[in-house]
A and B are shown apart, each in its own frame.
Chain A
C-alpha cells in the first residue's frame, strides 16, 4: 500500500502537482522500457 501511495501525485512547494506516469498508458510503457534497460545493465553485470 505504501509503495502504491508513493506513486501518487504529490503537491510540490509551489503548489504544482506532479503527474503520475502510471495514469497514462504511454507513460507506463515508456517506464517499462526504461526499467528494462536499467535491469539489463544490472543483470549483464551479474552474468
Chain B
C-alpha cells in the first residue's frame, strides 16, 4: 500500500511538473517570442513546435489529475477533500483548483487551439476569437496555479499553518 502511494505521488509530481512547466513556458516565454518573430517563423512554430508542446501539455494535465485523484482515493480522503471538510480542506482546495485547471485545458484551451492550429475548420474571425479565448484560459490557469501549488505544498508540508 505504501509503495503504491509512493508510486502514485511520484507519477503526480512527474506529470504535474510537465503540465505546469509547459503552462509557464506558454505564458512566460512562447507568447513573447511569437509576438517578436516574422510571420514565416510564427507559421513554422505553429506547424512544428506548438502542436508538440500542446500534446505534452494536455496529456500531462490528464495524467496529473488521474494520479492525484487515485492517490487521494487510496488514502481514503477523496470525499472529505472535495467536500472541503476538516484538515482535508487544505488538499481539497488544491484538488479543486487543479480540477478546474484540468477542465480548462481540455474543455476550453484545447478546443480553441484546434481551431487556431487548423485541426478543425474555422473562418479567420473564428480563429482570431479562438486564439483570444485560449489565451485568456491559459492565463487563468497560470493565475490558478499559484494558489493551487500553495495548497498542494501546505497540505503535505505545513498543515499547522492553518490552525
* Chain A interfacial positions (CB closer than 8 Å to B): 1, 4, 7-8, 20, 22-23, 25, 28-29, 31-33, 35-36, 39-40, 42-44, 46-47
Contact = CB atoms under 8 A, between A and B. Distances in A.
B143 A32 contact: yes
Interface of B: 27-28, 84-87, 89-90, 93, 108, 133, 136-137, 139-140, 142-147, 150-151, 159, 162-163
Contacts of A44: 162
Contacts of A28: 27, 139, 142-143
B90 A47 contact: yes
Main secondary structure of the interface of B (DSSP, over half): helix
Given A29-B146, A32-B147, A4 B162 contact: no
Given A4-B140, A32-B143, A47-B89, 20 more contacts: A1-B133, A4-B136, A22-B139, A22-B140, A22-B143, A28-B143, A32-B146, A33-B146, A35-B144, A35-B146, A35-B147, A36-B147, A39-B151, A40-B150, A43-B90, A43-B151, A46-B84, A46-B85, A46-B89, A47-B86
B73 to A, nearest CB: 21
A25 to B, nearest CB: 6
A47 B151 contact: no
A8 B140 CA distance: 12
Contacts of B89: 43, 46-47
Nearest to B133: A4
Nearest to A40: B150
A4 to B, nearest CB: 5
Contact of A39 (B93, B139, B145): B93
Contacts of B137: 4
